[in-house]
Structure 1
Amino acid sequence: MLSWNCCGMGSPTTVRRLREIQSNISPDILFLIETKNPDLAVEKSLEWMLYPSHFLVSPHSPGGGGLALYWKNDVDITILSPCQNFIDTQIKQDGSFVDIRSFMAQCDLFDLRHSGNFLSWRGKRHDHLVHCRLDIAMANGAWSEVYPHSHSEYLRFEGSDHRPLLTILDLTKKQKKGIFRYDRRLKENEEVTSLIKEAWEFDKEESVEGKLTRCRREIIAWTRIKHQNSQKLIEENRQKLEEAMVSQDPDPTLISTINHNLLLAYKSEEDFWKQRSRLLWLSLGDRNSGYFHAITRGRAAINKFSVIEDNDGIPQFEEEDMLKVITKYFDNLFLSQETGNFSLVQEALKPCISTETNTKLTLVPTEKEIKIACFSIHADKAPGPDGFSASFFQSNWNTIGPLVISEPAKNGGLQTYSSMHSLLQDHC
């Protein structure tokens, strides 16, 4: 049932709002207050709503009053005593929820506390758009004792005619702290570029590793201050668009600007998840954010251990115990052991690289070779242990490149090549 003080049926805005309500909600019962028009005028203004039954109370004066009650055939309404101020009715409705309520009573089930718009499904019935609550999270008494603070949340419509229903079990559970990953969206941010340059040049005597640590710390601090979160930007622009669209004095230029900003926020979100998904063959601009997100979540699920067996076949569930099992396995795997076949292996090996070729391979790489090697790595490849990907080095090469090249050269020879090779492997 929808009740609304319409403040006059003669206003085009009132009729337009009713059309919107009918299209989005299609209430079974519609009650209007302050129609301010004769009965014939009200009937003519609302005949397009196609309600089969209605009851009207004429306004008490040309400038005020008037009631209108409309209802559908599947609602049984009896008018008891109308007057200028109210319409007293008796409403009968079939008990279509008897079975589910009996089931809930027998199983000691009740609705969890919920937030958000609980009209979780939208669809068409004949020519009408219907919103109803089809999705419900329920629990019993035993559940509420274990999870006393659990509740559910109805999320927004997107990708389905059902709202996702999120059930949160433990409000006190802390979210696991994420590890640092350089966000390649920052490569085009002039403020971040300047911040990296300042951090890199802060201490001339600092090593490359120390400078990278300083850059990482500054980027994290900047991100927290600026709240560079594309989801937050999307939500803010959605809210601005909603306010602009429902404004009584809409500004087309403002609406166009907000839509443009929202599009940029979606593009930024897609860019971020494309990087996280490690898929390189899908192009940006195809609205694949959901797919990239699913790939990332799926990879995280695959990479997560829930149980592991040790050498004795005993399952280990705790993270610390699983870490010990893995460490012990690889310690034993790479442990050098004496064998009697060393001479046999030596006899089987034949040199495939000439002395001349070996000399070339062990030469100290030139500045050009190092830069080519770094820029040949795809910007979306997985980052090194410090969280910096090739995108970081490529976009800030003018600042960081000279020291990245010169620092290993202090040792010279083969050690220089090994150090640079390791650096490129770790970061590029």
Structure 2
Amino acid sequence: MANSEWLIMHPEAKLVNLLASHSDHSPILLHNTPMIRNGNTYSFRFENIWLKEDDVEEVVEEGWGRGREGEITIKLARCAEKLKGWGRRKRMRFKQEVNECGEEMERLRGRNELINSERYKEVQERHARLLIQEETYWRQRAKMHWLKEGDLNTKFFHMSASARARKKKIDKLVNEADIEVKTQPEICEVAQNYFDHLFKANIATHDPVLSLVAPKVSEEDNERLVAPITKEEVKDALFQMHPDKAPGPDGFNPAFYQHFWNLC
């Protein structure tokens, strides 16, 4: 039996029930070899934890280029590039700060001097804020929208995020020749070919059939449907979304747009 600590250490472990020809007890095979991935598969994703940092506004403004003309896609790509490097440095510094706070709290614990007591409270508060940030990081990955921030369920979120990652992972696919493929490039090729075929242009004409269908949309309704989308409509729809919902292809989730709406 594997406990939660073991699953955290081995997130890609997988059990397979093997066939047994002469027994009603099937052997179990444990696969614990990490899936080989390309080194350049990392894609940008906005982290909600960054919104707690004082200098995130400055990074986004620099990437967006306040007062500069340009396509919004270019501005977002520039923001993503700035945030990716900044976020990587923050993550490394974050782990270091957690360790430093823990070590200082251990040194100060048990001392009765007033100055040390005040310092201990400061470090303790800083440590608590860091733990809440870590919780935010894993809660976003776990997609547990029904839990509120501040519950300090970091271990639970970590387990949930790991379970989601295992559930979403594709170990193999069957290609058009009915052959199983297991390497990352082959899996990507099979998936791309499938969707290319699924969504290719259909040259069939439906005009004879459509001419027999009575229209259900009035002219007035049609005018509203084809009218240009306004900025207010986009804002209303965006602010109704949960901040932790999955990001778009650009890596930015609703939390980013909700927080930086006035900048965008």
Task: Tell me the TM-score range normalised by the shorter chain.
Answer: 0.7 to 0.9
For 2:232 and 2:105, locate their aligned partners in 1 and report how far apart those are by CA, in whole Å. 50
Select the residue among 149, 165, 168 that pairs with 1:284: 149
Say whether the 8 Å CA contact 2:38–2:184 is kept in structure 1.
Answer: no
Q: How does 1:222-237 map to 2 (within 5 A)?
A: 222-227=86-91, 230-237=94-101
Gaps of 5+ in 1: 1-158, 401-428
1:224 and 1:345, CA in 2 relative to 1: closer, same or farther beyond 3 A?
same
Residue identity in the other structure for 2:129: L
Q: Per-residue displacement from partner, 1:27-65 (whole Å, max 9, x unpaired)?
A: xxxxxxxxxxxxxxxxxxxxxxxxxxxxxxxxxxxxxxx
**Between Structure 1 and Structure 2, how many residues are aligned?**
235
What is the CA–CA distance in structure 2 between the aligned matches of 1:355 and 1:372, rounded to whole Å? 25
Matching residue within 275, 291, 314 for 2:140:
275
- Secondary structure of the corresponding residue to residue 270 of structure 1: helix
Q: Kindly state the Cα deviation for residue 234 of structure 1 after the two structures are TM-superposed.
A: 2.4
Q: 1:259 and 2:124 equivalent?
A: yes
State the AA in 1 paired with 2:241.
Answer: I
Quick check: 263-272 or 223-232, which moved more?
A: 223-232
Q: Does 1:190 align with 2:54?
A: yes
Residues 331 and 289 (structure 1), Cα distance of their counterparts in 2 relative to 1, 3 Å cut: same
- d(CA) in 2 for partners of 1:226 and 1:337? 49
Mapped contact 2:37–2:184 kept (Cα < 8 A) = no
Give distance in 1, aligned partners of 2:88 and 2:231: 36
Q: From the superposition, tell whether residues 175 and 247 of structure 1 become closer, same or farther in structure 2 (CA, over 3 Å).
A: farther
Shift of 1:303: 1.4
Residue 251 of structure 2, aligned match among 387, 393, 405:
387
CA contact (8 A) 1:308 1:315 kept: yes
Match in the other structure for 2:160: 295
The RMSD of aligned alpha carbons is 3.2
Q: 1:359 to 1:222 in 2, by over 3 A?
A: same
Q: Who is 2:23 aligned against? A: none
- The answer to whether the Cα contact below 8 Å between 1:231 and 1:269 also exists between their aligned partners in 2 is no
Shift of 1:314: 0.8
SS of the residue 2:197 aligns to: helix
1:262 is displaced (CA, Å) by 1.5
Quote how far apart the aligned CAs of 1:268 are.
0.9
Cα distance between partner residues in 1 of 2:134 and 2:105: 18
- CA drift of 1:254 comes to 2.0
Answer whether contact 1:230 1:266 (CA < 8 A) is retained.
no
Q: Which has the higher contact order (CA 8 A, sep 6+)?
A: 2
Equivalent position of 1:319 in the other structure: 184
Deviation at 1:375, TM superposition (A): 1.7
1:219–1:356 distance in 2 versus 1, CA, 3 Å: same
SS in 1 for 2:263: helix
Q: Does 1:369 align with 2:205?
A: no
1:309 and 2:174 correspond? yes
C-alpha displacement of 1:354: 0.9
**Residue 97 of structure 2 aligns to which amino acid in structure 1?**
L
Name the TM-score, length of structure 2 as normaliser: 0.76
Structure whose CA Rg is larger: 1
- Cα deviation 1:142-179 (Å, max 9, x = unaligned): xxxxxxxxxxxxxxxxx98x9x988xx99xx9995632
Give the secondary structure class of the aligned counterpart of 2:56: helix
Q: Which residue of 2 aligns with 1:240?
A: 104
Deviations 1:62-87 (A, max 9, x none): xxxxxxxxxxxxxxxxxxxxxxxxxx
SS at match of 2:55: helix
* SS of residue matched to 1:280: coil
TM-score (norm 1): 0.49
CA distance in 2 between counterparts of 1:165 and 1:356 reads 60
Unpaired runs of at least 5, structure 2 = 11-31
